[in-house]
Amino acid sequence: MIYKSDIMSLRKDMEEKIGQKIIVRESPGKRSKPLEKQAVIEQVYPSYFRVKFEENERRGSYNYTDIFTKSVEVQVFDGESYTKLEPPAIISKKNRAAEEYVG
């Protein structure tokens, strides 16, 4: 289960990367090759982020849940190399309740 706090954490991470180059890799299905495109993170919103693709100057958007479900993979360019953007680890409901309990 993906919690709102997980998405907020990923959004905050993406917000810090606005303007950075990324590679977006989409998983189209079992029989097709993954689509890989270079882009720049333009803006982040509560449930999705917008990118501008370098090859054709078009814009696209992706949901944060796409990253959690691995239907979209994002690699961020840090000036020297690309590093995979890892979403926060999803904690089970049972473990989350134990973690949030302050007794």
3: confidence class by pLDDT, cuts 50, 70, 90: confident
Higher model confidence: residue 102 or residue 3?
Answer: 3
CB 16 within 8 A of CB 88: no
* CA-to-CA dists, residue 18 to 32, 39, 41, 85, 97, angstroms: 30, 11, 5, 13, 33
**What are the domain boundaries of the chain?**
4-100
List pLDDT tens digits, range 5-61. 889 999 999 999 999 999 999 987 767 777 899 999 999 999 999 999 988 889 999
Enter the pTM of the model. Answer: 0.78
Give the pLDDT of residue 92.
58
63, pLDDT greater than 80: yes
Residues facing residue 24 across a β-bridge: 37, 74
100, pLDDT greater than 60: no
99, pLDDT greater than 60: no
Helix/strand/coil (H/E/C) assignment for every residue in 31-96 = CCCCEEEEEEEEEECCCEEEEEECCCCCEEEEEHHHHHCCCEEEEEECCCCEEECCCCCCCCHHHH
DSSP conformational letter for 101: -
d(CA 26, CA 4): 23
Domain 4-100 classification at class level: mainly beta
